[in-house]
Structure 1
Amino acid sequence: MLIYNVTINVEDSVHLQWLEWMKSTHIPEVLATGKFIEATMTRVLVDEEMGGITYSVQYKVSDRKTLDAYYREDAERLRKKTVQRFGNALVAFRTELQVITIEKGPIKSATTHLFAYGTLQDPEVQKMVFSRGLKGEEDYLKSHSISAKRVGGLYPTIQKSADQNERVNGFVYIISQEELQLVDAYEGEAYQRKEVTLASGIRAWVYTEKTY
């Protein structure tokens, strides 16, 4: 995972106008390219010798190929819009950061069980969705099987089985309600969330194709 960081120093005379434009127009347009997972905007708490106010916008991107596609297909067009609107009233420089590890303390509100049998078992996907890795326990869902049909031709889903010996193996994780909303967004419109009882007796949420 990479972070595309843009640091901007903006003159006091256009600061409030620029800030509103960034939040309402520019950042949404960057995210609308479909290249980035999320954007975080922060103010740099330092008195600049050059004057003005400095901000940092960090765009999270899954890989180098996607970031290069942004440079090739979108960056120049969006930069021109900024220059046309604010001219020399701001100075920006850009850096690329590689995410090495993300560690978080225990989440006290993490009381929701999630059963993952597909991509959410991947540590890199977990970091992309939750900004942290998850620690889970092996478990399985009885009387179910992995469907031969793939959602969007790529992603797995499960189906009920008349054979009680069939099962879907996976991991059960404990997450917060807020994180469950992140999974909803990650799975998208093609999946639905259902509550099931795992072999361990744990009640957990699982995502299946909407026709399931």
Structure 2
Amino acid sequence: MSSSGGSPADSARGSASERVERLFSYGTLRLASVQRGTFGAELPTRDDSLPGFRLGMVKITDPHVIALSGSDEHPILERTDDPADSVAGSVLELTSEQLAAADAYEVADYVRVAVTLASGTQAWVYVGVEG
């Protein structure tokens, strides 16, 4: 898993583990069972949306991810740059360690990038490698 762009982490000072990272999820990372299996707990979330994208689907082959999510087909973001397109989801608040766990959960079809959500919140999101 690779990432690009600057960190949308909270401006809180201190160690990386104390910073709050924000991750926009539009798929399986919103599921309580996936959060418990990936992060060890359910995370604080709030609703938001991401303009300029639409949802596609990707076939998952990783047995661990399939077992956690209960599905071998997951949604994947596709960039359209059309402001009329928007994807609803949730902002998860997590630590740097939990963000690393999310990176490990996501398969090679996804890449983590920094985005600005409809609310103006800066967050990470996983998009299609081509997106």
TM-score range, shorter chain: 0.7 to 0.9
Distance 1:110 1:185, change over 3 A: same
Tell me the equivalent position of 1:125: 34
Deviations 1:96-126 (A, max 9, x none): xxxxxxxxxxxx7141100000000100100
In structure 2, C-alpha distance between the alignment counterparts of 1:135 and 1:113, rounded to whole Å = 10
Runs of 4 or more, structure 1, over 4 Å off, are none
The answer to whether residue 99 in structure 2 is matched with residue 180 in structure 1 is: yes
Please state which structure has a larger fraction of its residues in strand. Answer: 2
For 1:187, give the aligned amino acid: E
Please state which structure has a larger fraction of its residues in helix. Answer: 1
The answer to whether residue 121 in structure 2 is matched with residue 189 in structure 1 is: no
Deviations 1:54-105 (A, max 9, x none): xxxxxxxxxxxxxxxxxxxxxxxxxxxxxxxxxxxxxxxxxxxxxxxxxxxx
What is the SS of the residue equivalent to 1:139? strand
In structure 2, C-alpha distance between the alignment counterparts of 1:144 and 1:189, rounded to whole Å = 20
Q: How does 1:1-212 map to 2 (within 5 A)?
A: 109-147=18-56, 149-152=57-60, 154-212=73-131
Considering only aligned residues, what root-mean-square deviation do their CA atoms show, in Å? 1.6
Q: Percent identity?
A: 34
- Number of corresponding residues: 104
For 1:174, give the aligned amino acid: E
Deviations 1:139-182 (A, max 9, x none): 000111112x4243611101122431210000001111111100
Q: Which moved more, 1:192-201 or 1:149-158?
A: 149-158
In structure 2, C-alpha distance between the alignment counterparts of 1:151 and 1:191, rounded to whole Å = 12
TM-score of the two chains, using structure 2 as the length reference: 0.73
Higher Cα radius of gyration: 1
For structure 2, the residue ranges without an aligned partner over 5 or more in a row are: 1-16, 61-71
TM-score of the two chains, using structure 1 as the length reference: 0.46
Task: Kindly state the Cα deviation for residue 188 of structure 1 after the two structures are TM-superposed.
Answer: 2.6
Kept in 1, the 8 Å contact 2:51–2:82? The answer is no
Kept in 2, the 8 Å contact 1:115–1:204? The answer is yes
In structure 1, C-alpha distance between the alignment counterparts of 2:18 and 2:59, rounded to whole Å = 31
